[in-house]
Structure 1
Amino acid sequence: MAPHDHGTTAATAAEPLAPRPAPTSLPTTDREPRMTAQDYLRAVLRAPVYEAAVKTPLEPMERLSQRLGNVVLAKREDRQPVHSFKLRGAYNRMRQLSEAESEAGVVTASAGNHAQGVALSGARLGIRAVIVMPVTTPSIKVEAVKGFGGHVVLRGGTFDEAKTHAQWLAAEQDMTYVPPFDDPLVIAGQGTVGLELVQDDARLDRVFVPVGGGGLAAGISVLIKQLIPEIQVIGVEPEESACLAAAQEAGRPVDLDHVSLFAEGVAVARIGDEPFRVLQTCLDDVVTVNSDEISAAVKDIFDDTRAVAEPAGGLGLAGLKKYVRTHHLRGERLAHILSGANLNFGSLRYIAERAELGEQREGLFAVEIPERPGSFLEFCRVLGGRMVTEFNYRYAEPDRASVFVGVELHTASERGEIVSALERAGYRVMDLSEDESAKTHLRYMIGGRPPADLDERVASFEFPEAPGALVHFLSTLGSRWNISLFHYRSFGMDTGRVLAGFAGAGADPGFTDHLDAVGYPWADASDSPAYQFFMGA
């Protein structure tokens, strides 16, 4: 497999990769069954998925195509009955159970699209489907699974705990466990997406596929490489959930220490063994993207199709846009998989806020201006007519004020031009457009500095959106330090984000161990430029 591309330098990746030839065999492992590429081709062609799934359209995105100088096509898997491609793999796996296995029923663990695919497949086939979901799963998802006929069991606080219980149920009640991606029949079911792609447009140059556990990418890539190997298949991962990139580097599947839940449909800590075996031979390249780029892609999809994709559903397009930019592609036919549209409505606020940053149409800056009448007008004049999108300010000192300002951009290079113009005018300025603390917390907190040096440490946390999470946090911390700063913001997802300051923790050697004991993912944010500019003592 080609080295993954983080998009850091366009110069080293200016030329597109040569297409990977059709594989004559796949790497072997100690695991059975060892399906060959030809076996997968036959399995895809024989997959009876259309008993439950539908053939989805490949739609042109005309506005984006004109902007990028390439023909951009969206494979609308959001049009499936469960609004996700997951129905294909689940149905193919369950359709081929023996009579005895069908009578015993199936079980799986999922809090998302796979759960709905298994539930609907069970209803269509008359098979009892038990879905184990974490107790923290939002009620809208639980009700959706029940609506498709699934029997929901709420167990465990995390997906791993739910999966452990599901596998125990499978063994205890002699039920069949239906994995979300690490299964040859599931992979073959997802491969029907690739079959439809080449049927609808055999002139495609590249296909961009979201990667979580790898089942969709494996199915599409092994099918396309058997039929039209000239078409490149490129996987796309979130930077904070890049389990395929990690497996490439290690030469085998490995566990990530932490995954971001923003694009929860691909928030997988370890790529599947069987998908990785297939992808080693069949995938041409991998690109990683950040949350802002995903948000911008979700907006592009809405602008062109009026579809509201979930973040994982916009992942393929985010990778496509980044690949076009870093490889200078022009005049090609490019498809991406709009893999799903099961979005928590509250997430739209976060996506809308970050989309302009992801498209580099907005810059965020910290600026120190004189505390006197007319200062804001003088500042706006220096911006040269650019539109101010946000301005946060609070009186703090008699002679100067620190402001947080958003500015509309037309090109990415304008950020540097704005900084230079402000510095020439005598302002102290800092570009915060890439500062995660600024984008997630500080922009909502501008309000002055502490009156004295508090010997403060600042940490960012991911909180589960569950009753008792805050009480657990505070109880575990105890009263060792006074909390000197606290900001919590919910984005309508399974986790919220917290920024907290701790007075007196600056030189405390036990600070790190104590926060580790809380059990929530955290990172030290004391060196955040935004924190230092606005709130540091």
Structure 2
Amino acid sequence: MTSPKPEDKQQNQEEIALDYLRRILLAPVYDVAKETELTSLTKLSTRLGQQIYLKREDQQPVHSFKLRGAYNKLANLSEAKCIHGVVAASAGNHAQGLALAASKLGIKATIFMPITTPDIKVDNVRRLGAEVRLVGKSYNDAQSASIECAQQEQKTLIHPFDDQDVIAGQGTVAKELLQQQSKLDAVFIPVGGGGLLAGMAVYLKQLRPDIKVIGVEAEDSACLKAALDAGEPTDLSHVGLFADGVAVKRIGEHTFDVIKHYCDEVITVSSDEICAAIKDIFEQTRVIAEPAGALSLAGLIKYCQTSEGSESLAAILSGANMNFHSLRYVSERCELGEQKEAVLAVTIPEEKGSFKRFCKALSGRGITEFNYRYAGANEANIFVGVKLGGEVEERVALQQALTKANYKVCDFTDNELAKLHVRYMIGGQSPANVDERIFRFQFPEYPGALEKFLDTLGEHWNITLFHYRNHGAAFGQVLAGFEVSEEQQLAFFRHLKDLGYEWQEETQNLAYHSFLKN
């Protein structure tokens, strides 16, 4: 048996591409989906010197592009398969898209979801008309149960991405995009299992082969990059869960067959960069994108950092089903992703006035966070956040300047352990036996507010504990401990009055006695 000639392989690939093009053009997704807007991100365009557009799939009835592929798959099922119903496993957007699509077509849908799925998602799927079965503690458990159900109850299993009709349905995003803006130089598309990238890439390259198609992955879930390196789909040992909408261990077989021919480049981005993109989207559109939804814009911004010249670029906002409580993490990390904050460990002398001298060494840069606990030694280690202008070079220059001023500095800006845990664990019980009083302060945030605080109190009393975090609010919050003897109390409280800030003593607070008091 002879191997296919290269020209035969090329012809076969062209036939596959034309078949996808036909499927995309004929996909009846607009029975339930809507044509979403293409928003010009004017502020970001000015900042990056490019023309940047955002394709708004958050505007779909289920706030995600997944509805397109699910509906196209169901619309192409035979009558016999429709009668028996469909089944799927999902803890997110695929479940909601399939539920709505099935309801529209009058097909019974059964969705297996892990028992850990938030109630709001379970309730949404039920509200859209699907039967929900809660099984296992992970997606894999739910997936296994859905496969077993499909076999036992003769239901059709609807895969979230690795299916030709699903891929074609997602490809309708590209059809709209070119109709809305044909003069594009590059399109950035998020990658989980690859359904959206495959569908959009095959369409774009048939009509505009000169457009660069760039896939964007979370660096802790980069299954496409792994497949490209290996030459075939391969399993990741583990995936990160922050961008849960793209937390896929293995790229699809069908999707990879398409992507390897039509994707020009793959960019990976960090969680911090995704958080920065969520912030950019919110500031321009007032929409809160989910992490997977902001993934492609994060990749676009990273691309602009090294690209030359002015280009017309589009990113796909793939979804906006954000878990509300995740916003705490996003708010904490977005400025790190924008290179607007450095996180440092600095050794300072254990003496009065050392805080104030350190602030002056920052040359006017704002402090976003200050963590310190007195240990009774000659030196103290502080955990400090410092505002930057958005350039990596400034972070390097800051570290060099502090080193020149005789401070020992360690940069923790890229240290996940420090950012996730250590910054919240600074403190503990002091081994030193001191007359400590604990106070909470609130003061208006303005340049120099923290220095004024230290001017008034830091030169006169030994600070034994200090925690400050600027969250961008109008008021700053400080927890501070002072060594105040009985003879000094009158003078100390006089200075508190002179300070002019709201304060409350917490020396008798049970939390202080449990975790911080010696």
TM-score, normalised via structure 1 length: 0.77
AA partner of residue 124 (structure 2): A
Task: Tell me if 1:53 matches 2:33.
Answer: yes
Identity of aligned residues (%): 56
Task: Tell me if 1:382 matches 2:361.
Answer: yes
Match of 1:417 in 2: 397
Structure 1 residues 285-296: aligned runs within 5 Å: 285-296=265-276
* 3-state SS of paired residue (1:157): coil
* Contact 1:214-1:276 at 8 Å conserved across structures: yes
Match of 1:480 in 2: none
Match of 1:407 in 2: 386
Alpha-carbon distance change, 449 to 205 in structure 1, aligned in 2, over 3 angstroms:
farther
Q: Distance in 2 between matches of 1:26 and 1:289?
A: 34
* 3-state SS of paired residue (1:241): coil
Unaligned runs of 5+ in 2: 1-8, 432-518
User: CA shift at 1:330, angstroms?
Assistant: 2.9
Alpha-carbon distance change, 430 to 170 in structure 1, aligned in 2, over 3 angstroms:
same
Structure 1 residues 45-444: aligned runs within 5 Å: 45-326=25-306, 328-410=307-389, 411-444=391-424
* 3-state SS of paired residue (1:413): helix
AA partner of residue 384 (structure 1): S
Q: Distance in 2 between matches of 1:250 and 1:449?
A: 51
Q: How many residues align?
A: 422
Match of 1:493 in 2: none
* Contact 1:255-1:269 at 8 Å conserved across structures: yes
CA RMSD of aligned residues (A): 1.4
* Contact 1:25-1:37 at 8 Å conserved across structures: no
Match of 1:445 in 2: 425
Partner deviation per Cα, 1:273-330 (whole Å, 9 max, x = no partner): 000000111111100001000000000001111110000000000000111112x233
Q: Distance in 2 between matches of 1:148 and 1:251?
A: 40
Q: Which has the higher contact order (CA 8 A, sep 6+)?
A: 1
* 3-state SS of paired residue (2:382): strand
* Contact 1:107-1:169 at 8 Å conserved across structures: yes
Unaligned runs of 5+ in 1: 1-22, 29-34, 452-537
* Contact 1:109-1:162 at 8 Å conserved across structures: yes
Partner deviation per Cα, 1:63-116 (whole Å, 9 max, x = no partner): 000000000000000000000000000000001111111111000000000000
User: CA shift at 1:130, angstroms?
Assistant: 0.3
User: CA shift at 1:412, angstroms?
Assistant: 2.1
Q: Distance in 2 between matches of 1:109 and 1:450?
A: 51
Q: Distance in 1 between matches of 2:364 and 2:303?
A: 33
* Contact 1:26-1:281 at 8 Å conserved across structures: no
* 3-state SS of paired residue (2:202): helix
Match of 1:10 in 2: none
Alpha-carbon distance change, 179 to 368 in structure 1, aligned in 2, over 3 angstroms:
same
Q: Distance in 1 between matches of 2:10 and 2:366?
A: 57
* 3-state SS of paired residue (1:441): helix
* 3-state SS of paired residue (2:188): strand
Q: Distance in 2 between matches of 1:450 and 1:352?
A: 31
* 3-state SS of paired residue (2:351): coil
* Contact 2:375-2:430 at 8 Å conserved across structures: no
Q: Distance in 2 between matches of 1:132 and 1:25?
A: 41
* 3-state SS of paired residue (1:111): coil
AA partner of residue 398 (structure 1): A
* 3-state SS of paired residue (2:392): coil
* 3-state SS of paired residue (2:161): coil
TM-score, normalised via structure 2 length: 0.80
User: CA shift at 1:342, angstroms?
Assistant: 0.2
Range moving further from structure 2, 311-320 or 418-427: 418-427
* 3-state SS of paired residue (1:429): strand
* Contact 2:374-2:430 at 8 Å conserved across structures: no
Q: Which has the larger radius of gyration?
A: 2
* Contact 1:396-1:448 at 8 Å conserved across structures: no
User: CA shift at 1:398, angstroms?
Assistant: 2.9
